[in-house]
Amino acid sequence: MRILISGGGTGGHIYPALALIETLKKDDPATEVLYVGTHKGLESKIVPAAGVAFQTIKIQGFKRSLSLENFKTIYLFLKSVHDAKRIIRQFKPDVVVGTGGYVCGAVVYAAAKMKIPTFIHEQNSIAGITNKFLSHFVDKIGICFAQAAAEFPAAKVVFTGNPRAQQVAGIKPSGRLQELGLSATKKTVLIFGGSRGARRINEATIAAFEYFAEKEYQVLFVTGSVHYQKIMDELKTPVPQNILIKPYIPDMPAILPEVTCIVGRAGATSLAEITALGIPSVLIPSPYVTHDHQTHNAQSLVTVGAAKMITEADLTGVKLADAVDELLRNDQLRMEMSAKARAAGVPDAATRIEQLLQQLIAKK
Find out whether 35 and 16 touch, Cβ atoms under 8 Å.
Answer: no
Using one digit for the tens of pLDDT, what is the confidence trace for 101-141? 888 999 999 999 999 999 999 999 999 889 999 999 999 99
Q: Is 242 annotated as a binding residue?
A: no
Residue 66 banded pLDDT, cuts 50, 70, 90:
very low
Are residues 354 and 283 part of one domain? no
| Interhelix angle 293-303/268-277, nearest 10 degrees | 20
Q: Is 124 annotated as a binding residue?
A: yes
138-143: Cβ within 8 A, 24+ apart = 138/98, 138/108, 138/112, 139/112, 139/360, 140/356, 140/360, 142/352, 142/353, 142/356
Higher pLDDT, 2 or 79: 2
Per residue, what are the HEC states of 49-89?
Answer: HCCCEEEECCCCCCCCCCCCHHHHHHHHHHHHHHHHHHHHH
Residue 26 has a pLDDT of: 96
Higher pLDDT, 97 or 65: 97
Predicted structure pTM score: 0.89
Tell me how far apart the alpha carbons of residues 41 and 11 are, in angstroms, rounded to a whole number.
10
Using one digit for the tens of pLDDT, what is the confidence trace for 327-337? 999 999 999 99
Are residues 181 and 63 part of one domain? no
Are residues 132 and 23 part of one domain? yes
We report the CATH number of the domain holding residue 135 as 3.40.50.2000
Q: Is 249 annotated as a binding residue?
A: yes
Q: How many CB atoms lie within 10 A of CB 337?
A: 23
Residue 41 has a pLDDT of: 83
Residue 247 has a pLDDT of: 95
Find out whether 256 and 89 touch, Cβ atoms under 8 Å.
Answer: no
Are residues 68 and 102 part of one domain? yes
Residues spanned by the domain of 82: 2-162+347-363
CA 34 to chain CA mean position, Å: 21
Residue 79 banded pLDDT, cuts 50, 70, 90:
confident
Q: Is 264 annotated as a binding residue?
A: no
Are residues 303 and 209 part of one domain? yes
The sheet that has 118-122: what strands, in order across it? 53-56, 32-37, 2-6, 95-98, 118-122, 140-143, 157-159
Q: Is 12 annotated as a binding residue?
A: yes
Using one digit for the tens of pLDDT, what is the confidence trace for 24-34? 999 999 999 99
Number of domain units in the chain = 2
Residue 29's alpha-carbon distances to 26, 32, 117, in angstroms, are 6, 8, 21
Are residues 128 and 109 part of one domain? yes
Q: Is 10 annotated as a binding residue?
A: yes
Exposure of 136 by Cβ count < 10 A (0-12 exposed, 13-18 middle, 19+ buried)? exposed
Tell me how far apart the alpha carbons of residues 356 and 343 are, in angstroms, rounded to a whole number.
22
